[in-house]
Each structure stands twice: as C-alpha cells, then as structure tokens.
A and B are shown apart, each in its own frame.
Chain A
Amino acid sequence: MALVLTEEQTMLRDSARGLIGDKAPVAHLRKLRDERDATGFSRELWKSFAEMGLAGLLVPEEFGGSGLGCVEAGVVMEEIGRNLTPSPFLSTAVLAASALARGGSAAQKKTFLPKIADGSLIAALAIDEGAKHRPAKIALQATRAGNGFKLKGDKALVVDGHVADLLIVAARSSGAPGNADGLTLFLVDPKAKGVAIERTVMVDAHNAARISFDDVEVNADQVLGEVDRGGALLEAVLNVGRAAAAAEMLGVADEAFGRTVSYLKERKQFGKLIGEFQALQHRAAHLYTEIEILRAAVLKALQAVDADAAQARVAVAVAKAKAGTVTTLAVQEGVQMHGGMGMTDQFDVGLFMKRARVLQELLGDSAYHAEALAELKKY
C-alpha cells in the first residue's frame, strides 16, 4: 500500500480541517478553560462531529456508523491536534468504538454502537492505575460473585471519565499483576453503586477523571469479550488508540512548528528577522526533518493497525515512541524560539507544550514504547 493518503482520505482531511478549524480552533479550548466549563468540552461541537459522520467513523455501517478505518481516524486526530480541540473523539469514537466493535457481543454492539455513532453516548476506557501506563500491571480486582463479579480498585487518567455514559474497565480477574493473562474488560454504568468519579482537570485543560470502584457489582452480560482473556482484545484496542494518539501528536507538532516558522519570519532583533540567523535556521530545518519522518511513521502505524491491529505492535511502538520525542522537541523549540512571548499565557504555543506533555504520557510514553520494541526484537 502506498504510504500517502488516498483521494478520499485527503477529502476527509479537508472537511475535518474545515469543521474543526472553524468551530473549534485553539480559542475554543481557551474559552472552555477560562469559563471553567463544567464538562470541559462542547456537546454542540460533538453533535456536529456526529452529523459529519465522525463520531461513528469506526462504527460498522450496520450499526449506523461510517465503517471507515484507522487511517481515517488518524486524519481526524491530526486536525484535533492542530487545534487542541477537546472532544470525546479519542475516548469514544476511537477507543470505545474499537473495543465494542472488536470484542462486543451482538447485543452489546446493538445497544451501544448506534448511540456512539449518533453522538448520544460518551464512553471512556479505564486502564491506567499507577503513575505510568502499564496495562500488564493492572491490579483492579474483579472477584466472582454470584452470576457476575465485584470490582474493587482505582483508575486514573480516564479520559472523559467525568462525562461518560459508559465506562469500559480493564480489571484483573485472575493471576497476579504483571501476568499477561487474567485480564477481563467490563462495561460499567458510571452511575452504578460504588462508582466514585473525581474530575481531574489536567495541565492541558483537557478532561480526565480518577475513578474508584468499591465492590461495584457487574453481571455476566457486562463482560466485554472473554473472561480472563481480555489482554489480547485490550492490546488490539490500545494499538488503535496509540496510533491515533500519535496522529494527534503529529498535528500538535506540525502546528506548533508552523507557527514557530511564521514567527521566525516576523520577529525582528538586531535589525533583522530572527529567521535569518543560521543558529535558528538549522534547528528549524532539523525539526522539519523530524516531523516529516514522524508523519511517515504515523501513517505506517495507522495502515498497519487497519491491516491487523494485533500484529501492528512494532509499527505502533515506532510511531508512538517517535511521536513522543519529536512532539516534545517541537513544542520546546516552539517556546524557545518565541522567546519571552512563548512563556506568556496569551500566546498559544505554551498550550501546545501542555497538550504534548499529556499526549506523551497517554497510552505509553516514548520510553515505554522503545522498551516494547526492544522486547519484540528480543534483546
């Protein structure tokens, strides 16, 4: 497959760019942040996403979605990254839709997927527990009780967890933390007894939650996929999410870079444009090269996930690891080259730095994925 966007994908990019750039530019995030909005995102915007078919982008057509692939989801994520747009696209349209479409029973799909596609249901994936993304070490306990299970434990960095209508919770139903086997995914009603949700406004003014589960009862129908065998499903879903997050990071990096290059062509010091200084030219040219390499690695990962999400680990590890280092460099150079203005809240470049930091941690940072690559290559 050619490592370029098809004509249809380019058209999707253009329309997503139009919609998101128009309705949710960086100023949109600022407004939500400054007004201390209770939800932290715009339901009206999410409705527009649904009307354009974006909420159901990964939902199969038989359940009211567009039935498109991860490359298309990545195209949208890149535009979200460019505009720092807070929306449930990653949590709901990418992660939850993938989990349900890949692991859901016929009944589960019929219940939830159409609602994701029409924008009426927001869903959040609860994976992380400690300070770092370590899905193999999941410890939230699922204990058999009657016909079902009881869940006990805590989750953190549950993206959109404070507004979710449905939680997809990864729990340990057997084995010890560190075992690959023994994980089960559950569909949990956030209003169920024993669920306590604390909204955590993050450094980037995006949304997440800490959620604690205190003997929350779930029945057998709420198991997503197979009991004790959720690891493989989770891995496939995470690979989709990681590739999508890498695409968002590409958008963050590329936009921060574009704004920085513009600044180099405007700002004058010592009687000339600062872009005339070779010290800055070479750093900008290096960063350009890194971003173009990232662009190729991200598209490769998205295509690999479309081909077979379970087999895409190498391409995904490369893309997410590279995205972490390149995006970090892009926002750091962005602030530095904007000089004192880069440190002000008034200039947007700092917002890109904050978002990049969150995305670096989300679904595994560069070190986590480089480590995964070393494991896969057996050294």
Chain B
Amino acid sequence: MTDLDTFRAETRAWLEANCPAEMRTPMQGDEDNFWGGRNAKFASEAQKVWFERMRDKGWTVPDWPTQYGGGGLDGAQHKVLREEMAAIGARSPLSSFGIWMLGPALLKYGNEQQKAEHLPKIARGEIRWCQGYSEPNAGSDLASLQTRAVPDGDDFIINGSKIWTSYANYADWIFCLVRTDPAAKKHDGISFILFDMTSKGVTTKPILLISGKSPFCETFFDNVRVPQSHVVGTINRGWDVAKYLLQHERAMISGMGGRDGGRPLGQVAADSLGTDDQGRLDDPILRGQIATFDVDEAALACAAERAVDLAKAGQLHPAFSSAMKYYGTELNKRRHEILMSAGGIDALEWESERSQEGSRARAWLRTKANSIEGGTSEVMLGIVAKRILDLPGA
C-alpha cells in the first residue's frame, strides 16, 4: 500500500465517521452555504458540527500551510480528499471569497505579517470578505477604475464607489482596488488594499436583481482612513495582484454549475415529464438536448481535473482559467435553460410554497450573471485570443 492509499483509507474512514448525513445531500439554495464571519449563522446543527470538524482538521483550506490554519496537504492528497468528499456527496463546509480569491493572492503577494493576520481567520471562517473591483464606470474595462486613495501620513484616505460587490452588506472586510497614482497609465497606478467594512465612511446598498434577490451591493467610500501598511504587494502594482486573483475567481466561477451536486438533469426532467414504456423521457428533443449537455458537462469536468493536474506539473497556461470561465458559465446557463424547459409551467411560479418561492426560476435568472461577473464571456475570449493564441492586435 502506498502512502497515498493509506491516506485515502484514513480520509474515507474519517469522513464516514465525521460527516453528518444531512451534509451529504445536495445544497438546495444559497442558505445551505455557510459563509462564516463575525455575524455567522448556522442553518442547522449538522452544518455547525460539520464546519467545526473540518475547521479543526484544517480542511476548510486543505492545501494551505498548517501555520496559516490549513491542512498542509500536497496536490495528490488534496485530490484524494476532493474525490472522497465527492464520493459521499459531502458539502463544502465553508463558502468564502477569502478562500477562493483573497487567500491565494495573499499567499503569493502578502507579506508575512499580512499572511499571519488574515489567513488563519479565513481558514477558521472568522472573517467574511468581499471584493471591491467593479465600479459604475469600470466594468469590463476594470483598469479604468477611479476610486481614489490619497496618502495622508501613514494612511490613505479613500473616496469613491464600487458596484456588484457580492454580499458587501454581510462582509467584515473588503479587498479593494484603488487608484493611487492618477498620473500613471491606467494599469500602473492601481493598488490592492485591505480594510475593515466597519471603518468610518463605508456604506453599502443592496441592488435588487431580476431574480428578486440582492446578492450584490453598491458600496460607497467617504473619506475612509486606511493604514498604508494594508496594501498587498507594492503600491501602484496592484494590477498584478488583481489579475492573479481574477484567475482564481474565474476558476471558481467556471466550476459553479457542477458544484451543486444536484440530481442529474435527466432525472429532474423525468420527474416532471414522465417517461415512455422504455424509460425514455417523454420529450425526444429535450432528451437529446440533455444528452448533448451531459456530454459537454462531463467533458468540461475532465478539463477541470486536467487543469489541476497541469498546474501541479507547472504546465498550466496562466490564462487558461479564462477559457474555463467562459465555457463553464455558458454551460451553466444552458443547464438552467434546460431545467426551466423540463419544469414547464411549474417552473414559472414565482410566489408559492409549492415552488419554494420560485426557486427554480430565481436560480435560472441568477445564472444569467455568470457570463458577466468576473469578466464577461467576450472579455474572456479576448484574453484567450491575446494571451494564448497570440493573435495580432487583440
């Protein structure tokens, strides 16, 4: 038995003993995510137990160094853990922009003090983070952002506003892009800075979306005072950090569709449409659409697995996450179009207990943002054309 086989056996046994049965069912909605933070609320006792056990193993962030609250697993062990969790349908114990986005950027660009201060709190779910990137006039053209940070002694004074800040109204801290040198070229005068959302001068306002929900906010900064020591990396070189973080964000978004681990589409459709005497969906065209969707989804899962293995081998193109983000989000939109078709008129109900307050329709509408947030599909294709295919003038 190799060391890895032993690790697999131990992991399987530990998960079997420690993952509550309720945490092995597909998540139904965002309420089933545990986001941590100062005002964290658990949806159930099982969610609390599961989170605490995983946190104590360092397995909220299995591949981070143990000194920062991680599990210290190498790439192969991390893959084993993911496979074993998937095998029993175990939910992720902690959903966190700190884990998916800020953490990797801090590990690469943060100084020792910043890492020691922030990473363990992310790992333990104590601080919930939000991302201050887009502005009303800086969407796809993110580098044209105008939020200003002006030096004042050892501090910066920050003024401006952000938009599409996910869950800013629940977040404890923000990682934010600010302009520190307005005279420089647009990519060269940006800094990446961290600050507490309870700082004086920070306000948030939720934005009502077509889904009827408000996952995003407008966030306003009115003379917010932040120590200069909160800049990650070099002042005016924040774009490097921002781009690195975006790769992780895009990798995360590309996997969104598959992560819910819900019932297979074919089964969902069979529930509402019924089947013929051979067990085939009673809608041959939709059945064909689902089959071609399943081919694409399974193939994308292979590509995601391969990307992790390539990264481990140091062979992954840094812009590949843009290709995956593009494809994954378009596929997720397709998935939800199929779900709406399969649901038919039942999926149209918006306000009823039967429809769980229109959960399917709201989820469908939410996915339309997938190909916009974190860089539009068109921006992703442009990045692939320029950085991977090296096409002229891209």
A300 neighbours in B (Cβ, 8 Å): 302, 305
Contact B305 A289, beta carbon cutoff 8 Å: no
Contact A288 B384, beta carbon cutoff 8 Å: yes
Within 8 A of A (CB), among B277-328: 279-281, 287-288, 290-292, 294-296, 298-300, 302-303, 305-306, 309-310, 312-313, 315, 320, 323-324, 326-327
Within 8 A of A (CB), among B374-389: 378, 380-382, 384-385, 388-389
Q: How far is the CB of B54 from chain A (nearest CB, A)?
A: 25
Q: How far is the CA of A215 from the CA of B292 in the complex (A)?
A: 42
Instruction: Given A296-B299, A373-B294, decide whether A285 and B323 contact each other with a Cβ distance below 8 A.
Output: yes
**CB-CB nearest in chain A for B394:** A281
A325 neighbours in B (Cβ, 8 Å): 292, 295
Which listed segment binds B: A13-21, A75-83, A161-169, A314-322?
Answer: A314-322
Within 8 A of A (CB), among B235-278: 264, 266-267, 269-270, 275
Indicate whether B210 reaches chain A with its CB closer than 8 angstroms.
no
Contact A261 B281, beta carbon cutoff 8 Å: no
Q: How far is the CB of A323 from chain B (nearest CB, A)?
A: 9
Contact A296 B305, beta carbon cutoff 8 Å: yes
Indicate whether B153 reaches chain A with its CB closer than 8 angstroms.
no
Contact B312 A2, beta carbon cutoff 8 Å: yes
B323 neighbours in A (Cβ, 8 Å): 285, 288-289, 292
Q: How far is the CA of A281 from the CA of B391 in the complex (A)?
A: 7
Best-surrounded residue of A289, A374, A377, A378 (most CB of chain B within 10 A):
A289
Contact B299 A297, beta carbon cutoff 8 Å: yes
Q: B393 touches which one: A2, A276, A290 (CB < 8 A)? A: A276
Indicate whether A282 reaches chain B with its CB closer than 8 angstroms.
yes
Q: B378 touches which one: A282, A367, A369, A370 (CB < 8 A)? A: A282
B side interface size, CB within 8 A? 47
Indicate whether A201 reaches chain B with its CB closer than 8 angstroms.
no
Indicate whether B392 reaches chain A with its CB closer than 8 angstroms.
yes
Which secondary structure dominates where chain B touches chain A?
helix
A288 neighbours in B (Cβ, 8 Å): 323, 384, 388-389
A side interface size, CB within 8 A? 44
Best-surrounded residue of B279, B306, B315, B390 (most CB of chain A within 10 A):
B306
Q: How far is the CB of A280 from chain B (nearest CB, A)?
A: 8
Contact A379 B287, beta carbon cutoff 8 Å: yes
Q: How far is the CA of A276 from the CA of B391 in the complex (A)?
A: 7
Instruction: Given A289-B384, A314-B298, A373-B295, decide whether A297 and B303 contact each other with a Cβ distance below 8 A.
Output: yes
Best-surrounded residue of B275, B287, B303, B390 (most CB of chain A within 10 A):
B303
Contact B382 A281, beta carbon cutoff 8 Å: yes
Q: How far is the CA of A94 from the CA of B295 in the complex (A)?
A: 25
Q: How far is the CA of A276 from the CA of B382 in the complex (A)?
A: 11
Contact A297 B281, beta carbon cutoff 8 Å: no
Within 8 A of A (CB), among B111-164: none
Q: How far is the CB of A132 from chain B (nearest CB, A)?
A: 16
Indicate whether A43 reaches chain B with its CB closer than 8 angstroms.
no
Q: A261 touches which one: B295, B313, B389 (CB < 8 A)? A: B389
Q: How far is the CB of B298 from chain A (nearest CB, A)?
A: 4
Q: A379 touches which one: B267, B292, B378, B380 (CB < 8 A)? A: B267
Q: How far is the CB of B259 from chain A (nearest CB, A)?
A: 18
B320 neighbours in A (Cβ, 8 Å): 292
Indicate whether A351 reaches chain B with its CB closer than 8 angstroms.
no
Q: How far is the CA of A293 from the CA of B290 in the complex (A)?
A: 18
B295 neighbours in A (Cβ, 8 Å): 317-318, 321-322, 325, 366, 369-370, 373
Within 8 A of B (CB), among A1-34: 2-4
Chain A to chain B contacts (Cβ below 8 Å), 10 pairs: A2-B312, A4-B306, A285-B388, A285-B389, A289-B327, A292-B303, A296-B302, A296-B303, A296-B306, A325-B295
Query: With contacts A4-B306, A282-B378, A286-B381 known, what are 16 further pairs, Cβ within 8 A?
Result: A3-B306, A261-B391, A281-B382, A282-B381, A288-B389, A289-B323, A293-B299, A297-B299, A297-B302, A300-B302, A322-B296, A366-B295, A373-B291, A374-B280, A379-B269, A379-B270
Closest 5 CB pairs of A and B: A379-B266, A285-B384, A276-B393, A296-B302, A281-B385
